[in-house]
Chains A and B, each alone.
Chain A
Amino acid sequence: MAAAPSPADVAAPGSFTTVIGLEVHVQLQTATKLFCGCPTTFGAPPNTQVCPTCLGLPGSLPVMNRHAFDLAVRAALALECSIAPFTKWDRKNYFYPDLPKGYQISQFDLPFSSDGFLEVVDPKGAFSRRVGIIRVHLEEDAGKSMHDEAAGTADSRIDLNRAGTPLCEIVTQPDLRSPQEARAWLNELKLLLVYLGVSDCNMQEGSLRVDANVNLHIPRPDGSVAKTPIVEIKNMNSFRSVERALAYEAARQWEEWRATGRELGSAPKQTRGWDDPAGVTRGQRHKEESSDYRYFPEPDLVPVRVSADDLARARAAMGVPPAGLRHMLAERWGISAYDADVLVNQGRDLVAYFEELAGLVGEGKVASNWMQQDVLRTLNERGGTIDAFPVRPAALADIIGRIAAGDFDTSRGREIFAEVLASGRTVADVVASLGIAAVDDDALEALCRELVAANPKIVADVQGGKEQAAAGLIGQAKKKNPNVNPGKVRAKCLEIIRGL
């Protein structure tokens, strides 16, 4: 038997194509649940955010949370979906202890939206992919089962705080062609949904969950294409896991196909779970007959109508999506696509910070450099949000302006930035306390003449053609007066040496 190919082999072009479709569940950012008034706060003690409706008690009835529906419409519009003018709810029937009613209220044959797309463009140009969205629908979440968590017992415990939380299910066409693309697309989806204020997409808290369908298309010498059986992968709890699981699964399918030649249609769809520590997918128990959820229209809810006004309101609430914002920033501030991508990927608040800064500085490129090299780096080190960042755009613009005016150089500017960050004082205050004052030309000339006179070896080197030796003079100048501008020192010293 051939050795298992590594994911790198699998990615080799020409051998086969990896075909990936995703199913993403996103928890909507609402204060209350989809069909009752219970709060959706994460982390509350078990079974404290419940009422007769989300507990499924006898006689309880659901009432739709219109805000959740509006958020879902906003997301679907941003995904370029068509919004149905008339949509209804359906019951998906199955038994499980974390499903208190014995059915989930979902949408079956008339989802509120369908037929959209979301494009992902690699900023380095490695790929660009428009991924079709088959449908987006709304449904309620189930509760959470916790197995064997109580030491010494085999009991399962059920927490129904999550039961009834609004979920958007987004189903893509099988348009993705590599694990890397899948990860990048998920990042773009998450960014979009966070921009829209639709979801916080926090995977740790379960507000974004991904299942992936994957198979391989393998060209044969006769021009036909062999397709491997589709596998659904579950249990991936980060985008990195998605990428790794898909890469593993592609390699596994390649090997299996080479060993068995088994193709799509020869077996029912298989579900495999991702074992993250082990780095493998494992087959999950498979039932011979596929589940029959006995969907039928939910008689406790009335159909939902979406008017032109509703759509206009949802569009107005959308704002500019990330893709549009990247173009806008590049165009308005003359920054590179790559830089625009970095800024936009940090979220709407950081973009707002940048735009304020760039406006004050009057020069997008310089503002962008400071954002990338100083603001973002510091944010990454310190953590926290840009909103709480101590150096506000006006202060940073002040520093950049003083550098441009020649008051001090960039490295001195960074020291001031660090001091403002640490102390929270104003730029003017910090500049004064560091004794930074502009060095006038006479003082500069005097200092340079003094250094030239004291360093005959450097002077000789420069005269011998090694201009870079002047750097030694700059170092000494900064020791004597930290406020001197290194460029000016260099120019003045060279001028004096040439005149000797």
Chain B
Amino acid sequence: MPSDPLQLSAVEIVAAVRSGDLTATACTEAFLDRIARTNGTLNAFLCVDREGALARASDVDARRRAGRPLGPLAGLPVGVKDALCTADLPTTCASKMLAGYRPPYDAEVVARLRRADAVIVGKTNMDEFAMGGSNENSAFGPVANPWDTSRAPGGSSGGSAACVAADMAPVAIGSDTGGSIRQPAGLCGITGLKPTYGRVSRRGLVAFASSLDQIGPMARSAADCALTLEAIAGHDPGDSTSLTDAVPDYSRMLDKPLTGLRIGRVPEHFAAGLDPEVARGVEEAFAVFRELGATVHDVRLPHAHHGIPTYYLIAPCEASSNLARYDGAHYGHRAEPGGGHRAEPGKGHRAADGRDADATAAFESPLVEMYCRSRAEGFGPEVKRRIMLGTYALSAGYYDAYYAKALRVRRLIRQDYLDAFESVDLIGGPVSATAAFPLGEKTGDPLAMYLVDMYTVTANLAGVGGISFPCGFTAGGLPIGFQLQAPALAESLLLNATDRFQSLTDWHRRRPPLAV
């Protein structure tokens, strides 16, 4: 028998299952047991499908014994962010609004994982509707960072990042609207890839900001991300914005030498605000790439500093519309007629503006009252804040000053990338300004929280891909993340460069000293 499945990479697991050295059942049981032991501490999974996962694993084993063909991810346990629809499991987006909601269909990525014979072990925690950078906006409690459980794992795919870092699953699926794969991957010391916009189908991903959302793999290494991306990427006729370009064989291009590769370094990334320990780790990563034969060049992204304000207009505008469907009329949380919660006078619900929802006076009609109360009760404060921001910015009289202007700046940012990629092949730099921050540190300061995405949002605005991976540790033992960004559809280069980096370093092999 091979060593403990928890210590195997995804690539090793599928090879072992295929060869018969490891059964999918044994592998799945090992990870399920690990989840059972650690989830109480980390809260990375919102729902664990022990029965379904074991049934799937046993089916894989039976087919292997019968000599029938197996998919490329056969027997691989995968955690799926709770923003992706699963027909057999609840899909809540970590919101009270969708508590207990069970979709009638699988997201395209979930369907592809199943077709590839992956074993979905459960749904991972996240910031409510993917809005947040610390996973503290979950209606079902925050996720703890496996490296220091008093700290945040980052967000919004915090559950996916933490579950990989804590060996609860070798691979997890995240979604990235402004950094929601890369930033938690960085803070949890794992590898996370946000593909080019449209590379992976969004169908069945509960929308936050449709023009920015992109699903991607989170794993311990570039090789495991490559394996997973091959299975989930590709055109979906059901998503008009998905790209038709053929999906390359990412795994086969990992070991290409980096000789002559030009990596851009943006001087502004190292301005005030970047933690010195993180800066040192990032500079050391550049040194590793030089050692691998790459050259490093300063490049400018002149409009990148407008990234956060641009993002915090476009994303909330789209969100205000995307989340309008949660009105209590058809599914999800509905307030009782006449405010049923009044029966519990001590538990008055606080609306986002601080006023007591119970105190809200006359409603235009019973219908409007139902809408208002359902949304007041169902959404958390950050979701409400962004709905209000977006609604305001799209309103008549403000549209040109906010949304339309943000679209113009977005085009400038996209052009910055096109210009930069004239002279370099990749752009490197920090993922976030600090290592993992303590839970609760930023929850009272939305603006500080918004800045955690400052190095990542521009890739979403430009639609290009980015990858984040560990490049060192702080003196306090927290992972430091490095980000590479690439031109559209250059995922193979991102994975290749990261894999070469990981061939020279062992940061990605370190495991958190998690006491369970």
Q: Chain A residues near B211 (CB, 8 Å)? A: 299
Q: Which residues of B contact A302 (CB under 8 A)?
A: 240-241
B383-426 CB mask vs A (1 if < 8 Å, else 0) is 00000000100111001000100000000000000000000000
Instruction: Give A103 Cβ to nearest chain B Cβ, in Å.
Output: 5
| 298-344 of chain A: CB within 8 A of chain B | 299-302
Cβ of A383 under 8 Å from chain B = no
Report whether A93 and B321 are in contact in the complex, using a CB–CB cutoff of 8 Å.
Answer: yes
Question: A58, A60, A95, A295 — which one has the most chain B CB atoms within 10 A of its CB?
Answer: A58
Is B131 on the interface with A (CB-CB < 8 A)? no
Is the CB–CB distance between A59 and B205 below 8 Å? yes
Kindly identify, within residues 300 to 344 of chain B, every residue whose CB is under 8 Å from any CB belonging to chain A: 317-318, 320-321, 323-325, 327, 329-331
CB contacts (< 8 Å) of A60 on chain B: these are 203-204
Q: Does A261 contact B (CB under 8 A)?
A: no
Contacts of B329 in A (CB 8 A): 97, 100, 158
A contact residues around B107 at 8 Å (CB):
59
B324 to A, closest residue via Cβ = A102
CA distance A63 to B236 in the complex (A): 11
Q: Are B318 and A299 in contact (CB under 8 A)?
A: yes
- Near B by CB (< 8 A), chain A positions 41-82 give 52, 55-64
A296 in the interface (beta carbon within 8 A): yes
Q: Does A101 contact B (CB under 8 A)?
A: yes
Interface: B84 (CB within 8 A): yes
C-alpha spacing A193/B55, complex, angstroms: 56
Asked whether any CB of chain A lies closer than 8 Å to the CB of B9, the reply is no
Q: How far is the CB of A191 from chain B (nearest CB, A)?
A: 35
Whether A59 touches B207, Cβ cut-off 8 Å, given contacts A294-B394, A300-B241, A302-B240, is yes
What 0/1 readout, one digit per residue, does chain B (68-94) give for beta carbons within 8 Å of chain A?
000000000000000011000001010
Given contacts A52-B103, A56-B330, A61 and B203 within 8 Å (CB-CB): yes
Report the minimal beta-carbon distance from A370 to chain B, rounded to whole angstroms. 53
Q: Is B210 an interface residue (CB 8 A)?
A: yes
Given A93-B321, A103-B321: A59 touches B327 (CB 8 Å cut-off): no
Q: Verify B324–A97 contact, CB threshold 8 A.
A: no
A102 contacts across to B, CB distance below 8 A? 321, 323-325, 327
* B325 contacts A300, C-beta separation under 8 Å: no
The answer, yes or no, to whether B437 is at the interface (CB within 8 Å) is: no
Cβ contact of B324, chosen from A64, A101, A292, A296, cutoff 8 A: A101
How far apart are B131's CB and chain A's nearest CB, in angstroms?
15
Tell me how many residues of A have a C-beta within 8 Å of chain B: 28
Interface residues of B in 233-265 (CB under 8 A from A): 237-241
Give the complex CA separation of A60 and B238 in angstroms.
Answer: 9
In the assembled complex, which residues on chain B have CB atoms less than 8 Å from the CB atom of A299? 209-211, 241, 318
Does A234 sit at the interface, judged by CB under 8 A? Answer: no
A91 within 8 A of B: yes
Q: Which of B93, B101, B205, B207 has the most C-beta atoms of chain A within 10 angstroms of its own C-beta?
A: B207
* CA of A97 to CA of B330, assembled, Å: 8
| Cα distance A356–B221 in the bound complex, in angstroms | 76
**Hey, which chain B residues are within 8 Å of A64, CB to CB?**
240
A101 and B237 contact, Cβ closer than 8 Å, known pairs A59-B205, A60-B203:
no
Sorting the interface of chain B by its residue count into under 10, 10 to 19, 20 to 34 or 35 or more gives 35 or more
In the complex, whether B140 has a CB less than 8 A from a CB of chain A is no
- Give the residue name and chain of the A residue nearest to B239 (CB): A61
Residues of A within 8 A of B203 (CB): 59-61
Chain A's closest residue to B210 (CB) is A299
A156 to chain B, nearest CB (A): 8
> Which of chain B's residues has its CB closest to A300's CB?
B210
Of B238, B239, B324, most A-chain CB atoms within 10 Å? B324
Given A59-B203, A59-B207, A62-B240, A296:B330 Cβ within 8 A: no
Name the A residues within 8 Å of B321 (CB-CB): 91, 93, 102-103, 294, 296
- Contact residue among B91, B368, B395 (Cβ-Cβ distance under 8 Å from A294): B395
User: Once bound together, how far apart are the Cα atoms of A180 and B67, in whole Å?
Assistant: 78
CB of B206 within 8 Å of the partner chain: yes
From residue B5, how far is it (CB to closest CB) to chain A in Å?
Answer: 31
Choice from B239, B241, B325, B368 contacting A58 with Cβ under 8 Å: B325
Task: Report Cα–Cα, A295/B404, bound state, in Å.
Answer: 11
Bound-state Cα–Cα, A56 to B85, Å: 13
- Whole-angstrom distance between the alpha carbons of A121 and B311 in the complex? 55
- A63 x B238 contact (CB < 8 A): yes
Q: Is the CB of A294 within 8 A of B84?
A: no
Question: A57–B205 Cα gap in the complex (Å)?
Answer: 11
Q: Is the CB of B206 within 8 A of A296?
A: no
Asked whether B287 is an interface residue with its Cβ less than 8 Å from the other chain, the reply is no
Please determine whether B237 and A52 come into contact, CB atoms closer than 8 angstroms.
no
Are the C-beta atoms of B84 and A59 separated by less than 8 Å?
Answer: yes
Chain B residues, Cβ within 8 Å of A91: 321
User: Across the interface, do B318 and A57 meet the contact criterion of CB distance under 8 Å?
Assistant: no
Interface centre among A100, A102, A103 (most CB of B within 10 A): A102
C-alpha gap A102/B394 in the complex (Å): 15
Taking CB atoms, residues of chain A closer than 8 Å to B371 are 95
- Nearest-neighbor residue (CB-CB) of B93 within chain A: A58
Expressed in whole angstroms, the Cα–Cα distance for A102 and B320 within the complex equals 10
Q: Would A300 and B240 count as touching, CB distance under 8 A?
A: yes
B98 CB–A CB distance under 8 Å: yes
- Whether a CB of chain A sits under 8 angstroms from the CB of B104 is yes
Cβ of B367 under 8 Å from chain A: yes
**Contact among A52, A103, A295 for B104, CB-based, below 8 A:** A52
With A59-B207, A93-B394, A294-B391 as contacts: A100 and B240 at CB distance below 8 Å? no
Pairwise interchain contact B237-A58, C-beta atoms closer than 8 A:
no
**B202 interface hit (Cβ, 8 Å):** yes
| Closest Cβ–Cβ distance, residue B82 to chain A (whole Å) | 11
In the complex, the answer to whether A301 meets B325 with C-beta atoms within 8 Å is: no
Whether the pair A95, B394 counts as a contact (CB closer than 8 A) is: no
Decide if A56 touches B240 in the complex (CB within 8 Å). Answer: no
Q: State whether A101 and B325 are in contact (beta carbons under 8 Å apart), knowing that A59-B84, A59-B107, A294-B394 are contacts in the complex.
A: yes
Tell me, rounded to whole Å, the shortest Cβ–Cβ distance linking B26 to chain A: 33
B394 touches A296 (CB 8 A): yes
A97 touches B84 (CB 8 A): no
Report how far A293 CA is from B203 CA in the complex, Å: 26
Q: What are 30 contact pairs spanning A and B, CB under 8 A?
A: A57-B105, A57-B331, A58-B91, A58-B101, A58-B207, A58-B325, A59-B103, A59-B202, A59-B206, A59-B207, A61-B240, A63-B238, A64-B240, A95-B324, A95-B327, A95-B368, A95-B371, A97-B329, A101-B325, A102-B321, A102-B325, A103-B321, A158-B329, A294-B396, A295-B394, A299-B211, A299-B241, A299-B318, A300-B241, A302-B240
The list of the 5 closest CB pairs from A to B, nearest first, reads A102-B324, A299-B210, A299-B211, A294-B394, A59-B204
Give B contacts to A, CB under 8 Å. 84-85, 91, 93, 98, 101, 103-105, 107, 202-207, 209-211, 237-241, 317-318, 320-321, 323-325, 327, 329-331, 367-368, 371, 391, 394-396, 399, 403
Q: A57-B104, A59-B207 are in contact. List 10 more A-B contacts (CB 8 A).
A: A55-B330, A56-B330, A57-B103, A63-B238, A91-B321, A93-B394, A95-B371, A292-B396, A294-B321, A302-B241
